[in-house]
Structure 1
Amino acid sequence: MPKLTFFPLNNADCCLLDLDGGQKIIFDYAHQKDMADPNDLRIDLEKAIRDDLNAAKRKDVDVFCITHLDNDHICRSSEIFWLEHASCYQDDDRFKIKELWVPACVILEDGLVDESRIWRQEARHRLREGKGIRVFSRPEVLRKWLESQGLDFDSRKHLFVDAGTLVPTFNRGTHGAEFFAHSPFASRLDNGELMDRNTDGIFVQVTFEVSGVKTKLMLGADADYEVLSAIVDITNYHGRPERLEWDVFKLPHHCSYLSLGPDKGDGETVPVDQVKELYEVHGQRGGVIVSTSKPIPQTGSDTQPPHRQAANYYRRITGFNGLRGDFKVTMEHPRVSAPKPLVIEIDHTKARIVTAVASGAAVLTGAAAPRAGRGPIFRLV
């Protein structure tokens, strides 16, 4: 069955998607654990990914997606993957990438150093070669760059994924999953606006289908409330409300209030109308919201996320009087003192949160109220 794995990385991101056919897709990768610090509770991400791929007898991943180039989404990622553009990133301990997904700003951004520059060079190399890459954007955005490289524009158009379309790499009939691109927005790019990592990062809706039952995941870059509002407005304008539905929502910006609205609030952040619609109208019964972040503070008003006011909103809407689902924080799961990967399995009952205990056994600790047409969600701890 399909499976989602979110790793405890403090305010950083990595999500591993396992599809029914054995395909492995990694959205972002930020290995920031201080191995010399015994008090650093973040997971050793490199070991976790290596162990998973080795157990599956894989020397590659089907997709590595970089939603945007901020360090909390790419830190040390060039140390584990085989890169095509330079031999210094090629040895037997590395995992090859069948297809690299990037937003157009990864190709176009100048003045980059360190990890972000490495990935820009890799993306440019693959685009020049005309294979092993998907660029999320209208093709015309990169016309001048392609022409400056002496490349035939039309011969690269098939490598681009426009907002409002499906990524052609996967489909529900063959792979049990499809990826619908919400961002970056064609309207911004057409208007010639200056690209911004967060505004023009990758944001997708993933639809899994198991035994005829669809389960939907929202996943992407660190979008603020203006980006999420635009996603709602544009999708509604085109009459596609089903593309806003979700059963699992990976929060952008590590539970920042700025992904809900302009004002943090005192006890609870109040979302702008479009974001309220996204969560409260399009969230499905039993929906799970995942905050890839540090533990939520109980008091105070921290400048940096996670913000308790935003968390209070998510807790309320997923609670008994709302979706009757769950709000999970990666560095709090299953407990703050010993965080472990958050695993969500997808089957004919939709999304189930699963955690194995140390003995390898499993204990049922509760069940959410069943959705219409489905069974209960069992949580194993």
Structure 2
Amino acid sequence: MFADVSGPSFIFWPVGCGDTTTVVVSDTEVVQIDINDKLMADEEGNEHIPIVDELVAKLPQRDGKPYLSCFILTHPDLDHCRGFADLLERVMIGEIWHTPRIFREYEDEKNLSDDAIAFRKEAHRRAERCIEEGGDPGAGDRVRIIGYSELFEPGERYEGFPTNQFYTRPGNAITVLDGADVSDRLHAFIHAPFKDGLADDRNETSLAMRLIIGSEGNTLRGLFLGDLSYPTLMQIFEQTHAHENNSMLEWNVLLSPHHCSKKAMYEDGLLQQDVMDEFADSQLSPGYIVASSNEFPHANSAGDNPPHRKARNRYEEIVNDAFLCTGEVSTPEQVQPIIVSITANGIELDIKDYKLSESAEATLTAAIAKARGNSAPPAYKVGFGAE
């Protein structure tokens, strides 16, 4: 089992305004949804976790190396893939899931961040291995493409890709993980991206899904919606209702879209109550809403990036149990994630007394020491996927 949890869990890491969620499925199966390995050290301390170091230290081992069953990229913005190259070098990744957009555009690498380049290169390699094998190429080479795409048509780049095994369209479920049938412990229902979103703003092509972990009678449901905004969110609800799949919207944990952006429920400054009603109607008990973001300001000015106080206020009006922010739960004095787990007593929230790994602690200490000697902020190449 992933260190520091005792059962199937969702772990939301404090990484600033960026998504980094670990899904613990079983003793040997761990899934990572997005990554934003970003230190922001200063004189006052740091509430962010060096996530690659932490994963390397706490993932289960296979053949003497940290093993991640699956890495899922919701979309290749930098705040969702920063650190992927480092992760790939230090961890064995059995399978990766992604949407087609990483293949479809930005062929000129000068427009890509380094980690987006690394992800696309690895996705290409794995897709080519699947074509060569005509099926499953085995752990370390598996890739699943999610969403509508012309990539597989005759004459296109991935003609011959084994779509029957490794291609999933919205409206369908995935119950195979890294070559194993996991239907008794993991169910991933894919809500988006939609076919008519291929040419839209990159955030609107985010992978959106509902995950169930745990065994029958003791399960935990999470709704993960990437960086989607109000129109696409409503499209998800409407399409799901139209296909009589309402149960596929149910959640115990909602990761608020786009780091708690007001664009999830406001258009032209006006609250769109229908989407809030949909969130409320699909909530189970217990119910938690998580913002993967920095600490909230008391108020926002026009044009501010997320997190948005107005969005938080709306979520707090509907949440059953608690609204939680990763950048507020974690402090420089006690660096820790938000963990929601299945225990013998049911679903429980754990947000105290987390033990940071020695390697992550050392990285954090070194970053703080370096920052004290240099007031300039860390420099990152920002290209495709600017936050």
TM tier, smaller = 0.7 to 0.9
Residue in structure 2 matched with residue 181 of structure 1 by the alignment = 190
Tell me: CA distance 1:228–1:358, structure 2 relative to 1, closer, same or farther (3 Å).
Answer: closer
Distance 1:54 1:306 in 2: 33
Maintained 8 Å contact 2:184/2:216: no
1:19 partnered with 2:25: yes
102-111 vs 253-262, greater mean Cα deviation = 102-111
Amino acid at match of 2:311: A
Question: Shift of residue 338 of structure 1?
Answer: 4.2
Measured on the aligned residues, the alpha-carbon RMSD in Å equals: 2.7
Task: Report how many residues are paired.
Answer: 332
Amino acid at match of 2:145: V
Maintained 8 Å contact 1:172/1:208: no
64-73 vs 52-61, greater mean Cα deviation = 52-61
Deviations 1:191-229 (A, max 9, x none): xx5154321121110012335133211014111111110
Query: In the alignment, which of 49, 58, 62 is matched to residue 52 of structure 1?
Result: 58
Deviations 1:253-308 (A, max 9, x none): 1111001121456xxxx3341x1232111111320000000111113435111111
**Which runs of 5 or more structure 1 residues have no equivalent in the other structure?**
83-93, 361-381
Maintained 8 Å contact 1:172/1:178: no
Maintained 8 Å contact 2:190/2:210: yes
Distance 2:355 2:11 in 1: 20
Identity in percent: 21
Question: Shift of residue 143 of structure 1?
Answer: 2.5
Query: In the alignment, which of 351, 364, 380 is matched to residue 355 of structure 1?
Result: 351
Distance 1:153 1:195 in 2: 27
Maintained 8 Å contact 2:175/2:186: no
Tell me: CA distance 1:358–1:52, structure 2 relative to 1, closer, same or farther (3 Å).
Answer: closer
Residue in structure 1 matched with residue 254 of structure 2 by the alignment = 249
Q: Which has the higher contact order (CA 8 A, sep 6+)?
A: 2
TM-score for both structures, normalised by structure 1: 0.79
Maintained 8 Å contact 2:188/2:209: yes
For 1:1-381, list aligned pairs within 5 A.
1-34=7-40, 39-53=45-59, 58-82=65-89, 94-110=90-106, 111=108, 112-113=111-112, 114-130=114-130, 131=137, 132-138=142-148, 140-144=149-153, 147-149=155-157, 152-153=159-160, 155-170=162-177, 174-186=183-195, 188=196, 193-194=198-199, 196-264=201-269, 270-273=271-274, 275-301=275-301, 303-318=304-319, 323=320, 325-333=321-329, 338-347=334-343, 349-357=345-353
Maintained 8 Å contact 2:28/2:60: no
Distance 2:84 2:182 in 1: 32
**Which runs of 5 or more structure 2 residues have no equivalent in the other structure?**
1-6, 131-136, 357-387
Amino acid at match of 2:72: C
